[in-house]
Amino acid sequence: MTFIGEEPLSIRVQGAPYAVVMRTPGGEKAHVAGFCLGEGIVDHPADITNIAFCDGEDTNVVTVTLTPARRTQVAAHLDRRTYISQTSCGICGKSIVADLVQALSPVADGEPLSGKGALDCLQRLGDYQPLRDQTRAAHGAAIYDHAFNQLSVAEDVGRHNALDKAIGALFLDGRLPQARLLTLSSRISYELVQKAARARIPVILAISRPTALAVELAAALNITLASLGKDDSLMVYCNAHRLVWPR
């Protein structure tokens, strides 16, 4: 029997502790880059001058160095106490949606996607989850462009971490603007919608259904939300105009 790994990752910004997340080891730099984008610490790859392990052999501590200009922009945001993020959800409440809508801008429409093509990507997600096959305990996230070419895929014990890793890999490579579709193995919580909004990904599909707060936030941010339905169908919860189906 194989068990999935779970270890703490300490994220430091400008040498100071910012957060500790429990995650599956691997892809640490991409994970931290995606986390920092989702947190609003960075907006562009050029905001980062370096991401490095604090000790060459210790992959459990990663430090992010920002440009002087970015450091000034987020100084108030960085002046906070370290917190521990678990793999479960954080705080809830409709007030968080109102706050996030004010902090985030709606995602542009762009060209619609084939609903069938998007559904095919969701149904194939398990094909790219070897860790899940080995442990039965891993979440997955895969990102595609408009032609459904897979841009990145990641697995982790935490669904938030898997998404951070998938987004972060594209962010560091400068390919995140190509992202049009996100597929998830987990339910869709409002935090995952927030991360997708920060990455400007317009369509989210998941195996499991979303929470009420996730639907409310996605509707406000012009993000299409859908999950796997019966008989190879999609249940679309908001902004269905982005998915087109053959007649």
Answer yes or no: 89 catalytic: yes
**Would you give the DSSP letter of residue 217?**
H
Q: Check 54, 89, 92, 121 and give the catalytic one.
A: 89
Instruction: Give this prediction's pTM.
Output: 0.92
Q: What are the pLDDT digits (tens) for 161-192?
A: 999 999 999 999 999 999 999 999 999 999 99
| Span 8-22, average pLDDT | 93
Q: How far apart are CA 116 and CA 120, in angstroms?
A: 6
pLDDT of 160 strictly over 90: yes
Q: What are the pLDDT digits (tens) for 195-236?
A: 999 999 999 999 999 999 999 999 999 999 999 999 889 999
pLDDT at 101: 75
Which distant-in-sequence residues (6+ apart) come within 8 Å of 239 by Cβ?
218, 219, 222, 223, 224, 225
Domains and their CATH numbers in the chain? 7-92 (3.10.20.10), 113-244 (3.40.140.10)
Given pLDDT bands bounded at 50, 70 and 90, which one contains residue 79? confident
Number of H helices, E strands in the chain: 9, 13
Supply the mean pLDDT for the chain.
91
